[in-house]
Amino acid sequence: MAATLTATPVAPEIPVRTIDAGDLNAALREGLADFREKRGDIFIVGLIYPIIGFAAAALSLGGAFVPLFFPILAGVGLLGPVAALGFYELARRREAGLESTWSHFFDVAKRPAWESILGVTGILLVIFLVWVAVAWVLYAAFLGAAPATPGDFLTALFTTSRGWMLIVTGNLVGAAFAWAVLMLSVVSLPMLVDRDTDARTALSTSIRAVRANRGIMLRWGITVAALLALGAIPAFVGLAFVLPWLGYATWHLYTRLVDRSAIPQQA
């Protein structure tokens, strides 16, 4: 008797929308409005980000790890979507008319799709670690052995042709990593906080949403990078404002990119 093959049902693709610059601006405005609405609470939670920045700086200034100062500092942005999970939860609660004080920031761990959230978080963490490793390889290829002091490192970086080649190459490679993180996370993490779906569906939807809006999402990525850079300049303190703002704005961007009514709810 011939064997019967049972095909595994394939979940339907979640429809994604085409957006324009007006949607980006609206997402930023709404994110800022959310920040102002809960300004005191969000400011307290936002202090997490300066702490992360200082920790990255302290780690990278340890002896032979001086060349990793800038890569680690920039790489913190790759983990920004993970750190913003709590803001997605606060935005979700506020939209649903639920209490949304800072005490609910970590309620994201109670969401039905928490295991999928951890899965996507793991992927982004791996990307961050690969970025740091690649940055180290690039440094070794262009400048050789680790410098004895931070001064030696800065001299080699900014006063030699090989140092400037490292700067240009590192920024191009870093931009590629940032784009990969944007594609994987801009929709997936807000979706997993919003709905009880699986990581594969969320990641696929995020990638398709970015592909359908390449130019607009490139503008979004540049805006995020610029705001993060400005927030990091005053000893990272500005990130206490910028990161919550961007977290909220990303939620509102997600609601514009995806037809949420089409996301199936799992039992």
What tens digit of pLDDT does each residue of 29-62 get? 999 998 888 765 565 556 666 666 666 665 555 5
- The CA distance from 147 to 156, in Å, is 9
Chain centre to alpha carbon of residue 16: 20
Determine the pLDDT at residue 73.
77
Tell me the C-alpha to C-alpha distance, in Å, between residue 86 and each of 54, 103, 122.
21, 10, 17
Of the two residues 103 and 205, the one the predictor is more confident about is: 205
Determine the pLDDT at residue 235.
63
Determine the pLDDT at residue 160.
92
- Reply yes or no on whether the pLDDT at 234 is more than 90: no
- Reply yes or no on whether the pLDDT at 263 is more than 70: yes
Q: Please give the angle made by the CA atoms of 88, 93 and 94, to the nearest 5 degrees.
A: 100
**Single pTM value for the model:** 0.86
pLDDT over 90, % of the chain = 54
Tell me the C-alpha to C-alpha distance, in Å, between residue 197 and each of 81, 106, 250.
18, 19, 19
Q: Which of 41-45, 79-83, 123-127, 216-220 has the lowest mean pLDDT?
A: 41-45
